[in-house]
Structure 1
Amino acid sequence: MNRTQLATGPSAVAVALVLFSGATRAGAAGEIGAGAYCPLPAQGERPACLEPARAEYGEFFNAVERGALSDAAAAQVEATVAAGADSDQAYLALSSLAYGYWQLSKSAVAAQQRNPELVERLERWNALLGMAYDDATDDEAWRRALRSAAKDLQRRAPPIELRCIDDRGETHPCDSTDAVMRGIDAAAGRVGLRGALERLLQRILGSEAS
């Protein structure tokens, strides 16, 4: 019986070292493959993994970095995140949205004045991330990316006071950075409950059929 053998010897070791070195350099340069969330960069850095998003959504990035994001400039990014992983550009849009959230939050804090338009936008983006997670029941990779973005914002974005709606439907003040993660956690609870109910129904229906 033939068995597949791993290549050994100096040449194989050399090849492995070259591949490892290349992967290490790519990671250090911030190069992330297609279909992945690009984390928020360190201050002053311009990561390679964000360049495809900049190329796709140039108007959005320009507006964010001017501190003057209009609904029109945000519309395509928002629509693509809402469409979920069915869109070819979903991960680029998610990386763009998180970057925009981070930059706009920093600009608002630096301005030291409340901006009702920004507050409304961040509330909408929190809801958008929660709904996108809620809808992603069959795509674990997309759900992981959404959760990574929410955690990134919770850690890195300065908090802005928003209006949040609790389980009883009442509105109360909350921090943007906590709200975005709570939205994801609430959606995760709904997804988990749906999954448990579906499994229970499958067992019941399976028992009846047998």
Structure 2
Amino acid sequence: MGGVVTHPWWRPFEVPDEAEIAAARTGEHRPEPVTVVAPDPEWPRWFERVREQLTAALGRRALSVEHVGSTSVPGLAAKPVIDVDLVVADSGDEPAWLPDLEAAGFDLRVREPEWEQHRCLRGHDPRANVHVFSPDAVEPRRHVAFRDWLRTHDDDRDLYAEVKRGVAARGFTDGMLYNNAKAWVVYDIYERAFAADPAHPHDPQPRAGG
């Protein structure tokens, strides 16, 4: 008998606790209300501005710059913050890329060496979260798969919007805790996307406690 087969990009359902969130932050957290707004047709143009800022600062060191997250899905309500995945040769080698991004106005907010050497920077014009990874990281591939699934599956797009609005209405002032509260629906959507992937067999996995 064969065992359970999972997609190569599958991850178990886990959310960081408050101690782990605090440990990942590089500076003092400034509370700000989490708001989810109607989709804005300007968001793709906002992304292009961020992409231009990153490539101007890094040149060829920016191996890829991808628009991900809810603002990358037409018709999806979102926080008015552009999510970007930036791939560099080695995200753990901060001296090779971070000073130039800081000089361009980006602030390092999150450092997670144990999670694929992830770094997250905040851009301000427009507001953006820039997630920095190395070429072998799995998370950017997951982000693109999630984006592409929502772009072609209106039912899951609408479900995700409904959940996000409900979670935002609870009054979160910490984006990471907001993400934790909606993580269950993200996991469930990934399960459907992975199960439908013709390139990789996947046996859907229930959420722990779900």
What's the TM-score once normalised by structure 1's chain length? 0.24
Max Rg structure = 1
What's the TM-score once normalised by structure 2's chain length? 0.24
| Structure with the largest fraction of helix | 1
Q: With CA pairs under 8 Å and 6+ residues apart, which has the higher RCO, 1 or 2?
A: 2
